Every structure is written in structure tokens, then in C-alpha cells.
């Protein structure tokens, strides 16, 4: 192992942003958890937390661990951000309280209820198309296809140019990594290519009436936010709403392909779909880690961190911490997973969680009703991304019940 413990804070020489550990992070997660509540990542001069109790506490203490300096590598207090910061993800109260209220209303479960029927009709049709083919790529034909069909319509986007959404989301998550890395560099190129289209879709006149985007702008009419703020909040939906859900659904399918007994359980009882998605989020968390920045000197365990220090919260590691979960490396859709941090925790808990859950639940339910078996038909291909864990390809065969 490349890790050593010195007197003073535990130190790790591991690089969570190297290709090898992006692709296979779980041994590193265990090592970081075992080193202590807070570990120094020597290569980058930042701190990391990987135990559930500490990640959870950090996410719930925004006054000590702020988001306004960015949730990626850079510190916006001292470095220029690569784009105007998010008014919600990269903000603290009181700004965050105001913008969060707008998106909480737009994405509340009651606001989303009207979408369920449209989602169900489309999921059922998609599943029939999958069964007709028998052999499919579950990432391309299912995990990507379904959110790409329903999410842009839910927001109220124009049909033209939707292919720009996925590269933008991918770039936004890669931009959280080290700026001298290849993934960050390619993210900047992708963002420059597709960014103008994204920004154009955030304008009020580009958004269809009745969609989530138009709904954000009703808060301009009521005086809660101004039009420039509304555009940036719509940008947040487009940045965070697609790739996360695609990888969440894809990871769930990957879990089922590798755990056929769990698929048999879901097939026998499709009402388990929602719980199954939560367990998949715990087991293969799509958002692997985000940073916070300390606002003051703070001591955790035996380690004292200074102000303006970056601290990386490993959501994926916390979700497999044996101090928190029994048999964390077992995928079990009957498990109770409240307090898993796949959607974060505290004031920044994912404001789109209800929408992601609705999409996944509807799709998994439709699949469970009609698909008896889902089996591997080739090697899966992993996504290489600084903050997203998932796949680009998952060849499978499906058979009808
Ligand atoms: C399975 C799918 C998803 C996962 C795993 C996920 C994960 C997360 C996580 C971990 C956070 C917390 C970030 C932090 O604490 O710094 C977050 C926040 C956020 N998510 Fe999601 N997300 C998903 C889907 C969505 C969707 C569908 C949308 C929008 C339609 C969305 C929009 C947001 C926004 C705007 C925030 C910032 C909230 C705030 O700062 O108050 N997410 N998400």
C-alpha cells in the first residue's frame, strides 16, 4: 500500500482522481476510513473524510464547512471559478435559503405528481421496445434513454440540441477535479462547445409553459428572485438533473445484473422498486465525493484543520462504512437505508431527489413487471469522471415473463 501514518494527522499518498482509483475506489475508501475521521491527501494538500458519522456531521454543519467556496477542487475565495458559481449548490445562507426555497417548490413531490402518468406511459413503451430486441445495452437503451426522454420534456426544453445536455452534465462533474488533470481539461473544452446552447435554454422565452423551467420564472413574478438568478437556477437543473439520474439508474441495473436473486425478488414484488433504487444508490453511489471549505479552525478527532482548507466528503465511502451498515458490501433491496448520503445531507440535500426517485421508481417498476431475467451479455464499460460513478456501456439480454 502507498499509505503511511506519521505522528500528527493521518496522511494518505493515494490519489482519488487517478484513473485507476476512479474506476475501482472501494479499497481506497476502506483505507481512508481506517486511517481516521480526517485524513490528509498529501498529493493535493487537502483533507478527506470517509466515515459515515463524520461525512454526515460535516454535511450538517454548513457554518463550519461552507459551499460558497465551491464544492470542487478550487477555492472560489482565492481562485476564479470556471463559470459563474451555482446560486444554490455553491452558495451558503442567506442566498442559499432564498434560492433553495424556489427550487424546493418547483421540485416538490406535489409539483411532480402530475408527471407520473406521462413517465409511466413512456416507461411501459420503452420496456416493450427493449423486450422486442432481447439483447440491449442497458446503459444506452435504458439508463440514458429513459431520463433523456422524460427529463427535458419535464423541464420544458426545445427538442433541438438535447444531445448537448449529457456532455454538459459530464463536464460539470469533471470540473470538480484537479484543474491540471486530463478530465478537467477535456471538461473545459466540452463546456466551451455546449455551454452557449445550455445558457440559451435557461432564458425564459426558451422554456415551454407548464414545465419546471417556466415554473422557476414564476418566482421572478412574485419578487423572490430576479431574472438573472432564475436563469442560473434553471442552469442548475440542467447541470445536475440528467447525468446523475442516468448513472443512478444505470448503477441500479448493474447491481441487478450482478445479483440475479435480487432481480428475482423485485420481479416477484415490483412494489419494492423505490426501496431497491435507494439501496442501489447506497451500494453504488453516483456522486462519489464533493468538497467543502472550512470557515474557521476546526478539530475533528485529533486533527485540527485551519480556516480556508478544502475537505473532501466521500459520499460513496460513507455509504459502505461498516461502522454504519451491517454487511455494507452486500446488495440487499430489503435493507433500510435511511441516512445514506447518496443525495447528500443537511441544507444541500439534493433538491431534485424526488424527481430522480420518481424516474427510477417508474422505470424499475415497469421493468420488474415485464422482465423476468436481465443477464450479462458482454463486458461493462466504466465511466471515467472526477465526481460521477457509473458506466457508459452495459450489454445485457432481457427475457419477458
Ligand atoms: C440519482 C440522481 C441524483 C443524485 C445521486 C444526486 C446527488 C446529489 C448530491 C449528493 C447533492 C448534494 C451536493 C452537496 O452536498 O454539495 C445534490 C444536490 C443537488 N442536486 Fe442532485 N442528485 C440527483 C438528481 C438530481 C436531479 C434530478 C436534479 C434536478 C432536477 C438535481 C439537482 C440538484 C441541485 C440543484 C442540488 C443542489 C442543492 C442545494 O445545494 O441545496 N439532482 N444532488
Give the nearest ligand 1 atom to 91 CA. Answer: 40
Q: How far is the CA of 254 from the centre of ligand 1 (A)?
A: 21
What CA–CA distance (Å, rounded) separates 283 from 319?
Answer: 7
| 107 backbone dihedrals φ, ψ, rounded to 5° | -110, 20
Q: Which of 91, 166, 350 to mutate to test the pocket of ligand 1 (most atoms within 8 A of CB)?
A: 350
Give the nearest ligand 1 atom to 347 CA. Answer: 41
401 residues of the chain, pLDDT tens digit each: 444 444 689 999 999 999 999 999 999 999 999 999 999 999 999 999 999 999 999 999 999 999 999 999 999 999 999 999 999 999 999 999 999 999 999 999 888 999 999 999 999 999 999 999 999 999 999 999 999 999 999 999 999 999 999 999 999 999 999 999 999 999 999 999 999 999 999 999 999 999 999 999 999 999 999 999 999 999 999 999 999 999 999 999 999 999 999 999 999 999 999 999 999 999 999 999 999 999 999 999 999 999 999 999 999 999 999 999 999 999 999 999 999 999 999 999 999 999 999 999 999 999 999 999 999 999 999 999 999 999 999 999 999 99
Give SS3 for 294: strand
Q: How far is the CA of 237 from the centre of ligand 1 (A)?
A: 9
Contact 254, 277 (CB under 8 A): no
Q: Alpha carbon 131 to chain centroid distance?
A: 29
Hey, whose CA ends up nearest to atom 37 of ligand 1?
Answer: 89
Half-sphere exposure of 183 (CA within 13 A, CB side): 21
Tens digit of each residue's pLDDT (9 = 90 or more) over 128-169: 999 999 999 999 999 999 999 999 999 999 999 999 999 999
Q: β-strands 310-314, 371-376: how paired?
A: unpaired
What CA–CA distance (Å, rounded) separates 148 from 151?
Answer: 6
Question: Which residue, among 395, 285, 300, has the nearest Cα to 340 in the 3D structure?
Answer: 285
Give SS3 for 282: helix
Residue 227 has what pLDDT?
Answer: 97
Tens digit of each residue's pLDDT (9 = 90 or more) over 1-36: 444 444 689 999 999 999 999 999 999 999 999 999
Q: Which of 69, 175, 240, 254 to mutate to test the pocket of ligand 1 (most atoms within 8 A of CB)?
A: 240
Ligand 1 — pocket residues by CB below 6 A? 59, 67, 71, 88-89, 100, 103, 236-237, 240-241, 244-245, 248, 281, 286-287, 290, 315, 342-344, 348, 350-352, 355-356
Contacts of 80 (CB under 8 A, 6+ apart): none
What CA–CA distance (Å, rounded) separates 378 from 365?
Answer: 25
| 359 backbone dihedrals φ, ψ, rounded to 5° | -60, -50
Q: Which of 59, 61, 352 to mutate to test the pocket of ligand 1 (most atoms within 8 A of CB)?
A: 352
Q: Which domains does the chain have, with CATH numbers?
A: 11-400 (1.10.630.10)
Using only the alpha carbons of the chain, give its radius of gyration: 21
Q: How far is the CA of 138 from the centre of ligand 1 (A)?
A: 23
Element housing 371 (H / E): strand 371-376
Q: How far is the CA of 217 from the centre of ligand 1 (A)?
A: 20
Residue 111 has what pLDDT?
Answer: 87
What CA–CA distance (Å, rounded) separates 234 from 352?
Answer: 12
Question: Which residue, among 78, 71, 36, has the nearest Cα to 292 in the 3D structure?
Answer: 71
What CA–CA distance (Å, rounded) separates 26 from 377?
Answer: 25
Hey, whose CA ends up nearest to atom 42 of ligand 1?
Answer: 352
Q: Alpha carbon 171 to chain centroid distance?
A: 13
DSSP 70-81: -SSSS-TTTS--
Cell readout for 301 is: 478527532
Tell if the pTM clears 0.75, that is, is over it. Answer: yes
Edge-to-edge strand ranges of the sheet holding 135-137:
135-137, 395-400, 371-376
DSSP 28-97: HHHHHHHH-SSEEETTTTEEEE-SHHHHHHHHT-TTTEESTT-SSSS-TTTS--SSSPPSSTT--TTHHH
Q: How far is the CA of 344 from the centre of ligand 1 (A)?
A: 8
Residue 6 has what pLDDT?
Answer: 47
Amino acid at each position: 500500500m502507498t499509505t503511511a501514518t506519521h505522528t500528527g494527522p493521518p496522511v494518505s499518498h493515494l490519489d482519488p482522481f487517478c484513473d485507476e482509483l476512479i474506476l475501482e475506489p472501494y479499497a481506497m475508501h476502506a483505507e481512508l476510513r481506517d486511517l481516521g475521521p480526517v485524513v490528509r491527501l498529501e498529493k493535493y494538500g487537502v483533507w478527506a473524510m470517509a466515515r459515515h458519522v463524520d461525512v454526515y456531521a460535516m454535511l450538517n454543519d454548513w457554518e463550519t464547512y461552507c459551499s460558497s467556496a465551491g464544492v470542487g477542487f478550487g477555492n472560489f475565495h482565492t481562485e476564479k471559478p470556471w463559470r459563474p458559481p451555482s446560486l444554490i449548490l455553491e452558495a451558503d445562507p442567506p442566498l442559499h435559503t432564498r434560492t433553495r426555497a424556489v427550487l424546493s417548490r418547483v421540485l416538490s413531490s406535489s409539483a411532480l405528481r402530475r408527471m407520473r402518468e406521462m413517465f409511466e406511459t413512456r416507461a411501459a413503451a420503452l420496456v416493450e421496445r427493449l423486450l422486442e430486441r432481447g439483447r440491449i445495452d442497458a446503459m444506452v437503451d435504458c439508463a440514458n434513454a429513459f431520463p433523456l426522454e422524460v427529463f427535458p420534456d419535464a423541464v420544458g426544453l426545445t427538442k433541438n440540441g438535447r444531445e448537448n445536455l449529457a456532455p454538459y452534465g459530464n463536464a460539470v462533474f469533471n470540473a470538480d477535479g484537479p484543474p491540471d488533470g486530463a478530465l478537467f481539461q477535456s471538461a473545459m473544452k466540452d463546456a466551451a462547445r455546449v455551454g452557449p446552447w445550455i445558457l440559451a435554454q435557461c432564458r425564459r422565452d426558451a422554456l415551454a409553459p407548464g414545465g419546471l423551467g417556466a415554473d422557476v420564472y414564476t418566482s421572478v413574478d412574485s419578487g423572490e428572485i430576479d431574472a438573472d438568478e432564475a436563469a442560473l437556477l434553471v442552469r442548475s437543473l440542467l447541470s445536475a438533473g440528467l447525468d446523475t439520474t442516468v448513472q443512478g439508474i444505470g448503477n441500479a441495473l448493474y447491481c441487478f445484473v450482478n445479483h440475479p436473486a435480487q432481480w428475482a425478488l423485485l420481479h416477484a414484488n415490483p412494489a419494492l422498486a423505490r426501496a431497491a433504487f435507494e439501496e442501489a444508490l447506497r451500494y453504488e453511489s453516483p456522486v462519489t465525493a464533493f468538497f467543502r471549505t472550512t470557515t474557521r479552525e476546526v478539530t475533528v478527532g485529533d486533527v485540527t484543520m485551519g480556516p480556508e482548507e478544502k475537505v473532501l466528503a466521500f459520499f460513496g465511502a460513507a455509504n459502505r462504512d461498516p461502522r454504519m451498515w451491517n454487511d455494507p458490501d452486500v446488495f440487499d433491496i430489503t435493507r433500510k437505508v435511511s441516512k445514506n448520503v447518496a443525495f447528500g445531507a443537511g441544507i444541500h440535500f439534493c433538491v431534485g431527489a424526488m424527481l430522480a426517485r420518481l424516474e427510477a421508481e417508474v422505470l424499475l417498476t415497469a421493468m420488474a413487471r415485464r422482465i423476468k431475467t436481465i443477464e450479462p451479455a458482454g463486458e461493462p464499460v466504466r465511466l471515467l469522471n472526477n465526481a460521477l460513478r457509473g458506466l457508459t456501456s452495459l450489454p445485457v439480454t432481457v427475457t419477458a415473463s
